[in-house]
Structures are given as C-alpha cells and as structure tokens.
Amino acid sequence: MSEPISDRLIILDTETTGLEVSEGHRIIEVGAVELVERRLTGNHFHHYLNPEREVEQGALEVHGITNEFLADKPRFYDIMQDFLNYIQGATLVIHNAAFDVGFLESELRLAGCEPPLISHFAGVLDTLKLAREMHPGQRNTLDALCRRYDIDNSNRALHGALLDSEILAEVYLAMTGGQESLSLSVNESRPELRVFQSGQRQDTPVLMANDDELNAHNERLQAIAKACGGESLWQKLVG
C-alpha cells in the first residue's frame, strides 16, 4: 500500500473466456462497486460483454457464462467510455491485479484507446499482494481470505464479477481495519442512516449503540483478533 490511495475506491473484478490474454482471450464480464469513506455508495458498474470468440470449457466451469448468453451483449468498445468515466481518478482495488489489468489494457488496446493504460485513468491496489505481505506463507485466495476474516461467501457457487467485487470489498475492509458498512438497505425505523447512491449522506444526529450492536462489535473484534493472532488495536486502546 505504498502508492497514494484515492478517497474513492473502486473494487473491481472481471471474468474472461480463458486464462491467458496472450492467447487472445477476452473479457466477458466486468463488475465493480464504489467505496467512499469506507462505505458502499450504491454506484456500481456491471456489464456482460460479447467477446467475439468462444469461451473455453475450463473457464465455463468456473463462471458458468455461456457463449449463447453472451451473443447479444455489447462489446467492450461499446461500454469503454462509460467504464473509463467510472474509474477516472479512483483507486482500483483488485485481487491479483496483474490478471485483470492485463485483460483490461488488452481490451483498451483493441478498442483503440490511447494510451491503453489503466494507470492513465486510475491507481491500482492489489489485495493479493497486500494479503501476501500480511499473511506470508499462507493461502491468500479470495475464498481463503473469506475464511480467515469470517466473511460469508456461501453464495459464491460460481465466480461472478459483480458478486466477487462485493465480497472483495468486505475482505478489503476487514484486512485494512476500521469501521465498515456494506449494507445499502434502509432501516425504516432509522431513515437518517440512509446512504444515497451519489455518496452524499444527510447530516445525522449522534446515535448511541444498542446492546445488540455492541455485542456484534465485540464479536467482530474477537474475529479480527483471532485472524491476526493477537489483540486488535481497538482492544488495546480500550482494554
């Protein structure tokens, strides 16, 4: 995390026709969610794409996205400008960033973008690299990190770019510590907590945590302590 981190984070994932961009494989799905001040804003980006080539059987078994499903979808060229506008000035948070950035830059090149470099539009933070620094010698796949940080990924029977970006957002927040809030649902009894899609929130009064919230907070601290092999910083400060 040596590079400057933007106040606006885009948690991003892609699915592809195969593993090797050097063999002409293409992106078939791009999904991203926006975090501002460590909270989801509801401003997400998601498209399935016609890769203009066949999906390999091995890739199909991973994500389940068929050639027939993609036949009437837009090409990357068709959504490129919307995508670039979405990521402009943000920091992209990607697990195994070299893979996704390689495919994205290949698509930009094929679409005639100059320069076809993600770094021209956004910064990049690789959570796989971060995880390896924090947990050397351990498995650091997204599923392994979910287990380590007690994050529910039971809905992940197949890979999907938008679902994986949502899961990665929760993993990133757990890895980097601090308060997190990923729920976009509005509690009708507490409408003042609403988070708008624009990322702007209403001025709100200070609300004291109730017993259930305090218990949930303590459970989260215990989970962090277990994952880190010691007390969390918060526990040390208030202990």
Query: Is 159 labeled as catalytic in the residue annotation?
Result: yes
Token pair, residue 32, equals 């991203």
Give strand ranges (E) for the chain: 8-16, 27-36, 39-40, 45-48, 91-94, 123-126
Distance (Å, rounded) from C-alpha 222 to C-alpha 235? 9
Which of 25, 44, 47, 159 is an active site residue? 159
Token pair, residue 23, equals 């063999």
Q: Which residues contact 225 (CB under 8 A, 6 or more apart)?
A: 231, 232, 235
Hey, what amino acid is at 47? Answer: H
Token pair, residue 39, equals 């909270």
Largest CA distance in the chain: 59
DSSP string of 16-46, one letter each residue: ESSS-GGGT--EEEEEEEEEETTEE-S--EE
Question: Counting beta carbons within 10 angstroms of the beta carbon of residue 4, is it exposed (0 to 12), middle (13 to 18) or buried (19 or more)?
Answer: exposed
Annotated catalytic residues are 159
